[in-house]
Amino acid sequence: MEQTITVLDKVNSPKDVKSLNIEEMKLLSSEIRELIKKKVNTTGGHFGPNMGMVEATIALHYVFNSPVDKFVFDVSHQCYPHKILTGRKEGFTDSDKYLKYTGYTAPEESEHDLFKIGHTSTSISLAAGLAKGRDVKGGKENVVAIIGDGSLTGGEALEGLNNAAVLGSNIIVIVNDNDMSIAENQGGICKQLTQLRKTHGQAEHNMFKALGFDYYIIEDGHDFESLISTFKKAKDADHPVLVHLCTQKGKGFAEAETDKESYHWILPGALDRKNSESCETYESITADFILDKFSKDKSVVAITPATPGVSGFTKDFRAKLGKNYVDVGIAEEHAVAFASGLAKRGAKPFLSVMSSFIQRTYDQLSQDLALNNNPAVILIHWGGITGMDATHLTKYDIPLISNIPNLVYLSPVNKEEYLAMLDWAAAQNEKSVVIRVPFMDVVSTGEKDTTDYSKLNKYQVVESGSEVAILGLGNFFHLGVKVKDLLKEKLGVRATLINPKFITGVDKELLESLKSSHKLVITLEDGALQGGFGEKISAFYAPSDMKVLNFGADKEFTDRVSVEELYQRYHLTPELIVEDIAKIIR
């Protein structure tokens, strides 16, 4: 490829953007889009959101004066253009540095980033805090929250809107309306935005004006003249302003413009080839189970808070369920209460939530659901120790969920067990049941699991031994099998292997029975130790002579640290575990 001087070559910081003319900005937009395509197609990442925000981000840096003026990017997965313009373009031009920068805003990377943000709907509240801080400190800068229409449906964003509206000073909320969050947008706010778009901002009722915002619309969010003139109007306002910015998600890549959902976040190589091979996954097992139930019971309702993809709720699945499929948008709190209401009315709700996002619903799980013992079924996806960004760790769902009274939190280890647990959860009417969907390749025994799960907190002894007992929870049951084999090989110990199945309770009878022929119990859990499963086993044995070792992750935010490294750090390989056991029993 021939080396030519590009606009991007001249842009190393926001001040360079300020000297560009419109033609150059257009060229810069194309160049940024090419970078994003190439980089994201190599590493995977958020594609659609970033493609849509290119022109708007250039215009923001042209009009405002970052870092004095403060930008808060909601979710921040649409911040790639911002990163490119704020000294981090090497993370997109140099394939050796593709992984140097996180996919979200990160204050440690740049003074142009204010917060680490990865969960949605937080930007308005954070910005309101910055603005109030400015006011009490005597500052004069602009504070700008940039939030997608999909994120606007989250409770925190709405609380933020309500409060930002009465701040009494400068705050600018830019709503990037691309008519999509991850999947299709839902709800009254989406309809309102559509109405405003259709009427050129002149809809009869404007909820933002009703709340007290000055309202501007940018009908073509890829047109620099509109962007710049509107941002200039909003700049330095002494009161709350909301800018309704209409953009096209995936702009600049035809397939992404059409199939917005598939191109929201993509895997490496996704832009080159389309269909990945399909094989059985715990998500497809989930979807098949729900469809089967639905074929017999029309009160089955599948619910997702805007993440159907991770739940196996494919387009085909949604079509088959019809009105019994509900995407509530990014609104996890509502989703849990909604499921509770459905169960109360005798329907059979299945709510799928990612481990990281169930964090938004502690109070709803406790008050709306568990306290009322309504028999909803909640499925937690992706729970485990991963190498993900610090904002998307999935190791805290056990401490979060398992300490709530009344709830039954189950952790299956294979397909048949998962199906049996689903069956029981769906059939019973006494308990709110949460299942930690295995986060691994499907393991199948080929034998139907006939366990009676109504007998709560009964662990399963898979293999009887002595001296050491291994409690391998969920995903880590399989690690337990390896530990058992290695113990035999290295130390000649024939250990007892136990599948606890229940995260929320201690099988006191079984644990008591281990005392006579065991010296050490080890617990293995694919999650954070603090507040988790293993500590409860330790507490049970604490007044006795039994020794216990808890294996799991530590309470820390890790940021893109590989699973391999984490397993070393936390002693989660069979070898390291057996070494630790040897120190106790030898």
For a second copy, the closer of residues 86 and 558 by Cβ is: 558
Helix pair 477-491, 574-585: axis angle to 10 deg: 60
Burial of 283 (0-12, 13-18, 19+ CB in 10 A): buried
Residues 544-583 that bind a second copy (CB under 8 A): 544-545, 547-550, 555-557
For a second copy, the closer of residues 14 and 532 by Cβ is: 532
Of positions 200, 205, 455, 586, contacts a second copy by CB under 8 A: 205
Helical spans, DSSP H, in 458-562: 477-491, 508-514, 533-541
Question: According to the binding rule CB under 8 A, does residue 53 interact with a second copy?
Answer: no
Vertex 64 angle, CA 78 and 194, to 5°? 50
How far is it, in rounded angstroms, from Cα 73 to Cα 92? 19
Provide the residue type at 154 as one letter.
G
Question: According to the binding rule CB under 8 A, does residue 155 interact with a second copy?
Answer: yes
How far is it, in rounded angstroms, from Cα 70 to Cα 256? 30
For a second copy, the closer of residues 57 and 374 by Cβ is: 374
132: Cβ–Cβ under 8 A, 6 or more apart, which residues? 167
Question: According to the binding rule CB under 8 A, does residue 129 interact with a second copy?
Answer: yes
Nearest CA-CA partner of 507 in 464, 544, 556, 540: 540
Question: According to the binding rule CB under 8 A, does residue 55 interact with a second copy?
Answer: no
**H/E/C letters for each residue in 72-92?**
EECCCCCCHHHHHHCCCCHHH
Of positions 42, 44, 207, 428, contacts a second copy by CB under 8 A: 207
Residues 211-250 that bind a second copy (CB under 8 A): 211-213
CB of 411 to a second copy, least distance (A): 16
Lay out the site mask for a second copy across 458-497 (x = CB under 8 A, - = otherwise): ----------------------------------------
Three-class SS of residue 6?
Answer: coil
DSSP letters, 302-360, are: EEESS-HHHHT--HHHHHHHGGGEEE--S-HHHHHHHHHHHHHTT-EEEEEEEHHHHGG
> Sign of the CA dihedral 174, 178, 179, 184?
negative
Tokens 């910005």 label which residue?
127
Continuous segment of H or E residues that includes residue 53: none
Question: According to the binding rule CB under 8 A, does residue 290 interact with a second copy?
Answer: no
Nearest CA-CA partner of 511 in 581, 580, 583, 461: 461
Of positions 226, 286, 307, 402, contacts a second copy by CB under 8 A: 402
Nearest CA-CA partner of 355 in 300, 436, 299, 423: 436
Tokens 């089955």 label which residue?
300
Q: Which stretch binds a second copy (CB under 8 A): 205-213, 312-320, 379-387, 463-471?
A: 205-213
For a second copy, the closer of residues 266 and 339 by Cβ is: 339
For a second copy, the closer of residues 44 and 531 by Cβ is: 531
Of positions 16, 24, 135, 467, contacts a second copy by CB under 8 A: 135
CB of 226 to a second copy, least distance (A): 23
Q: Are 17 and 27 in contact (CB under 8 A)?
A: no
Question: According to the binding rule CB under 8 A, does residue 367 interact with a second copy?
Answer: yes
How far is it, in rounded angstroms, from Cα 251 to Cα 35? 14
Nearest CA-CA partner of 525 in 562, 553, 561, 557: 553
Question: According to the binding rule CB under 8 A, does residue 396 interact with a second copy?
Answer: yes
For a second copy, the closer of residues 25 and 175 by Cβ is: 175
For a second copy, the closer of residues 301 and 425 by Cβ is: 301
CB of 228 to a second copy, least distance (A): 27
Q: Are 47 and 264 in contact (CB under 8 A)?
A: yes
Vertex 557 angle, CA 556 and 558, to 5°? 105
For a second copy, the closer of residues 35 and 157 by Cβ is: 157
How far is it, in rounded angstroms, from Cα 234 to Cα 307? 33
CB of 180 to a second copy, least distance (A): 16
Residues 317-336 that bind a second copy (CB under 8 A): 323-324, 326, 328-329, 331, 333-334
CB of 336 to a second copy, least distance (A): 8
Burial of 380 (0-12, 13-18, 19+ CB in 10 A): buried
For a second copy, the closer of residues 76 and 226 by Cβ is: 76
For the record, the structure tokens of 505 come out as 């309770």
CB of 266 to a second copy, least distance (A): 24
CB of 357 to a second copy, least distance (A): 8
Q: Which stretch binds a second copy (CB under 8 A): 254-262, 307-315, 338-346, 479-487?
A: 338-346
Nearest CA-CA partner of 227 in 17, 7, 16: 17
CB of 73 to a second copy, least distance (A): 14
CB of 77 to a second copy, least distance (A): 14
What is the 8-class DSSP label of residue 446?
S
Of positions 315, 345, 508, 515, contacts a second copy by CB under 8 A: 345
CB of 515 to a second copy, least distance (A): 14
CB of 90 to a second copy, least distance (A): 25
CB of 358 to a second copy, least distance (A): 9
CB of 410 to a second copy, least distance (A): 17
Question: According to the binding rule CB under 8 A, does residue 8 interact with a second copy?
Answer: no
Residues 346-365 that bind a second copy (CB under 8 A): 346-347, 349, 359-360, 362-364
Of positions 31, 156, 283, 417, contacts a second copy by CB under 8 A: 156
Of positions 71, 282, 338, 350, contacts a second copy by CB under 8 A: 338
Q: Which stretch binds a second copy (CB under 8 A): 29-37, 91-99, 485-493, 539-547?
A: 539-547
Question: According to the binding rule CB under 8 A, does residue 428 interact with a second copy?
Answer: no
How far is it, in rounded angstroms, from Cα 551 to Cα 529? 7
Question: According to the binding rule CB under 8 A, does residue 136 interact with a second copy?
Answer: yes
Question: According to the binding rule CB under 8 A, does residue 366 interact with a second copy?
Answer: yes
